[in-house]
Amino acid sequence: MDKISPEKRSWNMSQIKSRNTNPEMKLRKALHGMGFRYRLHNRKLPGSPDLVFSKYKAVIFVNGCFWHRHGCKHTTTPSTRKDFWETKFKSNTERDKKNIKELQNLGWRIMIVWECELNKTDNNSILDNVEKFLLSNLSQIETEA
């Protein structure tokens, strides 16, 4: 049983952002400081990537570990309504795979940066990986926890 009233739970869930999240803003600020320029949330592309680097034909998704099922310690499943959550998470991961495949078919290169990686105190290795990815010909890369 949920300890929070349905009205309060509804309000809490409505406050969860899908754009301009703290991890995304942290990465955007750092990349801009490094001289990289990008577009945000291009709805014409499958999955509406968080960052679009047209010059490099590359996109970056900043994925939350909970919603996109990274497998780290933040990938928990709520104890209530397990069937609902399992279905929700499964559809999220299937949609992610579909969007990645569609982007690759369109010739885009994809990088996935996980929230738990951006929450670490030292992000230099992530920024190095992003820079290497953008300047390389790699078709897909993912940060590791």
> Domains of the chain, with CATH numbers?
23-142 (3.40.960.10)
The percentage of residues in the chain with a pLDDT greater than 70, rounded to a whole number, is 89
Angstrom distances, CA of residue 85 to CA of 36, 69, 77, 96, 115: 37, 11, 7, 16, 20
Confidence of residue 74 (pLDDT cuts 50, 70, 90): confident
Residue 47 backbone zone (phi > 0: left; psi -120 to 50: alpha; other: beta): left
- The tens digit of pLDDT for each residue in 14-73 reads 656 566 688 898 899 999 999 999 999 999 999 999 999 999 999 999 998 887 888 788
Q: Which residues of 21-46 are buried (b: 16+ CB within 10 A; e: fewer)?
A: bebbebbbebbeeeebebeeebeebb
Look up the pTM and report it.
0.83
